[in-house]
A and B are shown apart, each in its own frame.
Chain A
Amino acid sequence: MAGAAKSGHQLQLLDFWVSPFGQRCRIALDEKGLPYEYLEQDLANKSELLLRSNPVHKKIPVLLHAGRPVCESLIILHYLDEAFPSSAPLLPAGDAYARAQARFWADYVDKKVYECGTRLWKLKGEPQAQAVAEMLDILRTLDGALGDGREFFGGAAFGLADVALAPFTSWFHAYERFGGFSVEEECPRLAAWAKRCAQRPSVAKNVTPPEKVYDFICGLKKRFGIE
């Protein structure tokens, strides 16, 4: 729910339209019903506000809460849960083990998916084949983590791990095309989970359509001079 936030929550999000990391934050804000001001950033020409708000990494997303910056998407998700405790929680209250498992999987997504995916579309020959093999391993691991009969990673409730991975479901299509595999065939549970996520208004609204992600990557490849 975007809109100028002059009073009340005073939340702003410095972001880039196609960023899956930024989309995690948008999904979380919508799930929690928190109004915020979306501020699209030009990453080729970074604004004073971005550089001032994230001097260490100079990256999006950055959440500004009454002007104070919070950086790193998973840290932003934790912050939203803790600063707005009456809103829909991303982590189950009072269950330390469930919280640890959610954090483990969110961390796994962070460490593995984007980096491997980048190698998959950027590289060729043997290094690309290796990236494809690794991506299949990652997706099968996530498929296994879902197991049978679980709606979301934490069970019945859409939570931290789901929010961490949901934006990447749009990137699956690109990975499939560049990698020559089918997520539906290799990881049916993950594919079913992705469909369930896509039905949530917060996800449907904030995640870039797969074809647009594919076009974006093709644009990057042209720019980097990769066939």
Chain B
Amino acid sequence: MASPPPPVKLLGTFASLPVHRAEAALRIKGVPYELILEDLKNKSELLLTHNPVHKKVPVLLHGDRAVCESLVILEYIDEAFDGPPLLPADPYDRATARFWAHFIDTKCSRPIWLSVWAEGDRQREALREVKQNLALLEAQLEGKRFFGGDSIGYLDLAACGLAHWIGVIAESGGVSLDTLMSDAEFPNLRRWAAEYVSDEAVRLCLPDRDRLLAYHMANVDKNKERAKSM
């Protein structure tokens, strides 16, 4: 008789975008898992033991293995479990998906943050940069339902911030989503975003919008301060 598969646990927090990436990937693959919520102001032994280097969420625990960093976790989930593939098969397409995920992770967050929380010229400059970045991603969606093609894949998960978090962050700062990512300028992204958040697997692990908004609104002063030092 085959031994039961090793248990899968995900250490995460409510509002975290990288945690959502990992959770959504598990759901798409149909992998049963237990979500363990962490209090980042009082990190558990479990978290500190399994991510001693960064001490951050998400951490994927698969039996006695620990995998850290959301994009590394996505590739691990794709390779360790059966189910619909997250990355395309062709090496060049894989390189393209990884390129844009890296772009999103390294270039997109800061200008979005500053376009909401900075002031004057800094804010205007940040908004310009946001639109330049979004235009590149808009072009990647041309003629496609998702970045991954017909179904959600690695790059869609990497880009989830643009489907859900960007509108909440903007609203928490009194900025309309249309200022950052209007339907007129970015029809592909807006359409993609609506499809992403209503996907069966994604829906079940997307943080509730009202709760997420409340979470960001509770940190308005902190956010403004952070923007000043960025």
Contact = CB atoms under 8 A, between A and B. Distances in A.
B103 interface: yes
B79 interface: yes
A82 interface: yes
Given A104-B67, A141-B53, A68 B92 contact: yes
A104 B67 CA distance: 8
A56 B136 contact: yes
A68 B95 CA distance: 11
Nearest to A100: B76
Interface in B175-219: none
13 contacts: A68-B92, A70-B92, A75-B95, A75-B102, A76-B95, A78-B98, A79-B91, A83-B91, A97-B76, A97-B80, A99-B75, A104-B69, A107-B69
Main secondary structure of the interface of B (DSSP, over half): helix
Nearest to A105: B53
Nearest to B81: A96
Given A79-B95, A97-B76, 9 more contacts: A56-B136, A76-B95, A79-B91, A97-B65, A100-B79, A104-B68, A104-B72, A107-B69, A141-B53
A72 B136 CA distance: 17
B103 A78 contact: no
A68 B99 CA distance: 14
B43 interface: no
Contact of B75 (A65, A70, A83, A103): A103
What does DSSP make chain A's interface, helix, strand, loop or mixed?
helix
A83 B99 contact: no
Interface residues of B, number: 22
Nearest to B72: A103
Interface residues of A, number: 21
Nearest to B97: A75
Contact of A83 (B71, B76, B92): B92
Given A75-B98, A108-B53, A99 B92 contact: no
A137 B94 CA distance: 33
A75 B154 CA distance: 14
Interface string B68-105: 11011101100110000000000110110011001100
Contacts of B73: 100
A24 B99 CA distance: 17
A96 B76 contact: yes
Interface in B31-65: 53, 62, 65
Nearest to A83: B91
The 4 closest A-B pairs by CB, nearest first: A82-B91, A96-B79, A96-B80, A100-B76
Contacts of A183: none
Contacts of B99: 70-72, 75
A79 B99 CA distance: 11
Contacts of B72: 100, 103-104, 107
A97 B95 contact: no
